[in-house]
């Protein structure tokens, strides 16, 4: 009953968002595992199963390991209505259908967890999507992720600053791929998360040398950087695509 109450409460709160599918959400579950071989073997079965069983309400589901040792389970959902359905289903308190259908694999997965699960929900900031129209996450095996805290009451100004920075960087010949999300649940609402995808970690930092050089050579960029809304970096991590 408690889980269902939480789910219903979040569903009601989501009414503040438009019900159409241009509002894209991301649910992240973070944990650690003891053995990566066991993890890969079990997820090779678990991940496609979950994608199929939830295909009526989710857009995609991916799994990424990180340099810090955290495993990121990412569920992409279009529309607040679908997010509500997802929350209600996953908080129902009923045994997972996967566990019922695959008890041996479920037991292996459970025994392999090495940390408690942290769950958070994010909404994509549509004005801060800088990806090609044909972007497919599976084509980018690496991404840097940055978690930032923005002063309360300055979120809108921060988002405008980020858009201004992108336009200025384009003028300087910098076209860095990125997409930004804002916290809905599990983190303070002034928390932002930005993904910076690239083909590999080597490519990312090789390109970053050139990007930083162009920024440092621009007086206009330096002036903008000094006047921008300041944010505090909470955490950075390197993510590598597994599934």
pLDDT digits (tens, 9 = 90+) for 7-39: 444 444 444 444 445 799 999 999 999 999 999
What's the total number of domains in the chain?
2
CATH of residue 70: 3.30.70
Same domain? 168 vs 82: no
Q: Residue 51's closest CA among 185, 243, 184?
A: 243
Is it the case that residue 218 has pLDDT exceeding 70? Answer: yes
Same domain? 162 vs 221: yes
Same domain? 71 vs 149: no
Query: What confidence category does residue 109 fall into, taking pLDDT thresholds of 50, 70 and 90?
Result: very high
Specify the pTM: 0.89
Same domain? 138 vs 48: no
How many Å apart are CA 130 and CA 209, to the nearest integer? 20
Domain range for 225: 125-241
How many Å apart are CA 95 and CA 30, to the nearest integer? 20
Same domain? 104 vs 131: no
CATH of residue 182: 3.30.70.100
Is it the case that residue 48 has pLDDT exceeding 60? Answer: yes
* Cα angle for residues 204, 233, 86 (degrees, 5° grid): 85
How many Å apart are CA 175 and CA 220, to the nearest integer? 17
Same domain? 39 vs 144: no
């Amino acid at each position: 009953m408690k889980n269902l109450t939480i789910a219903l409460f979040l569903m009601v709160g989501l009414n503040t968002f438009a019900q159409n599918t241009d509002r894209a959400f991301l649910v992240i579950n973070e944990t650690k595992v003891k053995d990566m071989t066991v993890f890969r073997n079990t997820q090779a079965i678990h991940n496609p199963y979950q994608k199929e069983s939830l295909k009526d309400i989710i857009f995609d589901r991916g799994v990424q390991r990180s340099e810090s040792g955290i495993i990121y389970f990412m569920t992409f959902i279009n529309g607040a209505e679908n997010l509500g359905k997802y929350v209600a289903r996953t908080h129902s308190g009923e045994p997972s259908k996967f566990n019922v259908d695959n008890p041996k694999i479920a037991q292996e997965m459970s025994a392999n967890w090495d940390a408690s699960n942290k769950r958070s929900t994010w909404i994509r900031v549509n004005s801060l999507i800088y990806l090609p129209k044909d972007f497919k996450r599976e084509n980018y095996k690496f991404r840097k992720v940055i978690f930032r805290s923005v002063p309360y009451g300055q979120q809108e100004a921060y988002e405008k600053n980020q858009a201004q920075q992108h336009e200025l960087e384009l003028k300087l010949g910098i076209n860095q791929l990125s997409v930004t999300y804002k916290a809905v649940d599990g983190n303070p609402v002034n928390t932002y998360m930005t993904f910076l995808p690239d083909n590999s970690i080597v490519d990312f930092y090789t390109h970053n040398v050139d990007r930083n050089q162009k920024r440092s050579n621009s007086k206009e960029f330096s002036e903008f950087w000094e006047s921008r809304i300041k944010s505090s970096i909470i955490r950075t991590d390197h993510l590598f695509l597994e599934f």
